[in-house]
Amino acid sequence: MSLSGKTTLITGGGKNLGALIATLFAAEGSHLALHYNSASSRQSAETLAAGLASKHGDIKVKLYQGDLTSAGGVGKLFDAVAADFASLDIVINTVGMVLKKPLTEISEQEYDTMFAVNSKSAFFISQEAARRVRNGGKIINTVTSLLAAYAPGYTAYQGSKSPVEWFTKSLSKELMSKGISVNAVAPGPMGNSLFLRPRVPRGRGIPQVQRHRRPPHQDRRRRAPLQVPVHRRRVDQR
């Protein structure tokens, strides 16, 4: 897969899954516009960008900080990217927040935050991407493998990620005439700050779907791999 000369915007690209994707795309020759959310992510984002630019001298790597929980914040990011790059070929949205808590204990503020970060941001990122990605380009959203099974304690996380799958499916139909593919990937738990907690005995505190890969009640048609390459799990565009 050669991405030489193409430009990829990765939201949440300064760490975790976004940083991994950035590393892979840099190796394939893509220019990178990497977004990070706040000052707490700045150092990891700057370290990543400097390392990629040094290792792959023929690519351009730019960093952008911003809160993407408002349409205005998303628009500002895309405006900044447009000012730095001649075109936008690929947008990958990895923005997300995990909350493990029983439904009965979730506050209204936590509910609002989860849906702002996981749902609202994805909606407006998809909207701006649809407006700005060149014909023949690609838009990729991240959802979660937990959409294919039920896991106790992740009600707000699963619920706030579920709309993203439907945004993706609908947008894929709307952009077919432009040759823009719109897809979702559903990664499972990763060894990063989203999921890591203080050490517990192996197997405890891990939802059944993570330990046994596919519980008996899981519908095979909705089966989502626990670890999936960024180019897999296509949304049906028929």
Q: Which residues of 168-203 are buried (b: 16+ CB within 10 A; e: fewer)?
A: beebbeebeeeebbbbbbbbbbeeeeeeeeeeeeee
Quick one: tokens of 70?
Answer: 């408002």
- Name the CATH architecture for the domain at 7-222: 3-Layer(aba) Sandwich (3.40)
pLDDT digits (tens, 9 = 90+) for 81-126: 999 999 999 999 999 999 999 999 999 999 999 999 999 999 999 9
DSSP category for residue 105: G
Contact 168, 141 (CB under 8 A): yes
- Only one residue has tokens 């959802």, namely 143
* Unique residue bearing structure tokens 């838009």: 139
Place of tokens 């596919």: 214
Q: In this structure, are strands 90-93 and 61-65 parallel, antiparallel, or unpaired?
A: unpaired
DSSP-derived secondary structure for 56-101: -TTS-EEEEE---SSHHHHHHHHHHHHHH-S---EEEE--------
Q: What angle do CA 147, 149, 155 make, to 5 degrees?
A: 65
Cα angle 40-156-45, degrees, rounded to a multiple of 5: 20
pLDDT at 1: 67
Domain positions in the chain are: 7-222
Tokens of 79: 């405006």
Q: How many C-beta atoms surround the C-beta of residue 143 within 10 A?
A: 25
Global pTM value:
0.80
Q: What is the pLDDT of residue 191?
A: 60
β-partners of residue 181 are: 138
Number of helices (H), then strands (E), belonging to the chain: the values are 7, 6
pLDDT in tens, 52-81: 999 999 999 999 999 999 999 999 999 999
CB 37 within 8 A of CB 116: no
The pLDDT-based confidence of 19 (bands split at 50, 70, 90) is very high
Q: Name the pLDDT band for 174 (thresholds 50, 70, 90).
A: very high
